[in-house]
Amino acid sequence: MSQVWGITLKGMEALRVEVESEITGGLFAISIVGLPDAAVKESRERVRAALRSLGLSIRGRVAVNLAPADLPKEGAILDLPIALSIAGSMRSIPAVPPGIYMGELALDGRLRGVRGAVSAAILARDLDLPLFVPEENVPEVSLVEGCNARSASTLGDILEFLRGEKELPAIEPVFPETIPSSPEPDFADIRGQSAAKRALEIAAAGHHNILFTGAPGSGKTLLARALRGILPPLSRNEFLEAAQVRSTLGTAFDEGMAPPFRTVHHTASIVSICGGGSTLRPGEVSLAHRGVLFLDEFPEFRRDLLEALRQPLEDGQITISRASGSVTYPCRVLLIAACNPCPCGWSGDPVEQSTCSAREQDRYKKK
């Protein structure tokens, strides 16, 4: 029997999973136990094909146990430790040394990137264990200082390293301060709108939420996007928090130190903004952590959605509870909302004439 350590995600937290495998005689079969989801169960074919591409054919009945047994396991993040555990049971490699292994396997043995690399690096650093990740996850892992991590492009590279036939490149830490920020609309290039620009400066200095009201084309969206440029750059810990949320979802993140900026359409659901679903994923309010959340056409958002945002905006975190468990995500954001003064948008405009009655304008403002 061979034992290898992998991880699974519960919210932003990476939890260590012990992968055990045993091969016995009989007809070929692979069974995986330990509350695996559909993606983990499908790893049987990926692992079998990847090992066969290296000349390792599995024979007999294979039992794979994912411990702890009462912890749900999800995603293809456990492909690599399952393959190493089976290879160890086949005596194709020596005993796998303690470490955390993660990665999705292609049928030809290539390693694909997975989500949760930042959380895995934090766990490996706290446990003082080496971490082995696919090359695609190197930019994320390099953000965590003090983590002994190595990267590989194929399963064969990992096997050769464990046999002592090859060295894997170490992942050096990269300080976000050395990475240039992506260009943004320059606050200094905006002409006029002195009152709105003054309001943005106050909001940026005191981290206050702000509501823009104006006719279509008056520059509400441009001003909102320019706010990101006058916010102070994120500290290292703040940047790591924001990167960890995005890594949990598996989305790309800005490698600069500028705060994140997220725009939400008024047709978005509560789950997409607040988070949730069967896997308890973070929503837009958490993806904008330490940055700006922009709600355009503010009166068009549903009332229940706006009420759902009230407490997270006050507390700076949101707790998502479902039958499968409960997780907490950070969501300390600066909220910018924009709306028209009336349904047609031209109330108070010096050029265009509003076509809305006084009752329609009052009903619109009450939203």
Q: Which amino acid is at 186?
A: D
Is the pLDDT score of 225 beyond 70?
A: yes
Mean pLDDT, residues 319-345 taken together? 89
Mean pLDDT, residues 346-354 taken together? 77
Domains, the chain, ordered by start: 2-162 (3.30.230.10), 178-366 (3.40.50.300)
d(Cα 145, Cα 171) in Å, to the nearest integer?
10
Is the pLDDT score of 67 beyond 90?
A: yes
Please report the sign of the dihedral spanned by the C-alpha atoms of residue 223, residue 225, residue 229, residue 234.
positive
Mean pLDDT, residues 5-30 taken together? 93
Predicted pLDDT at 25: 87
| Pairwise pLDDT comparison (233 vs 126), residue with the higher score | 126
Q: What is the pTM of this model?
A: 0.88
Is the pLDDT score of 212 beyond 80?
A: yes
Lowest mean pLDDT among 215-219, 240-244, 287-291, 353-357: 353-357
d(Cα 50, Cα 84) in Å, to the nearest integer?
11
Report the chain's terminal Cα–Cα distance, integer Å: 64
Predicted pLDDT at 362: 79
Predicted pLDDT at 180: 53
Three state DSSP letters for the chain: CEEEEEEEEECCEEEEEEEEEEEECCCCEEEEECCECHHHHCHHHHHHHHHHHCCCCCCCEEEEEEECCCCCECCHHHHHHHHHHHHHHCCCCCCCCCCEECCEECCCCEEECCCCHHHHHHHHHHHCCCEEEEHHHHHHHCCCCCCCEEEECEHHHHHHHHCCCCCCCECCCCCHHHCCCCCCCCHHHCCCCHHHHHHHHHHHHHCCCEEEECCCCCCHHHHHHHHHHHCCCCCHHHHHHHHHHHHHHCCCCCCCCCCCEEEECCCCCHHHHHEECCCCEECHHHHCCCCEEEECCHHHCCHHHHHHHHHHHHHCEEEEEECCEEEEEECCCEEEEEECCCCCCCCCCCCCCCCCCHHHHHHHHHC
Structure tokens belonging to residue 190: 């905006």
Tens of pLDDT, residues 39-53: 999 999 999 999 999
| Pairwise pLDDT comparison (45 vs 346), residue with the higher score | 45
Tell me the average pLDDT of the chain: 90
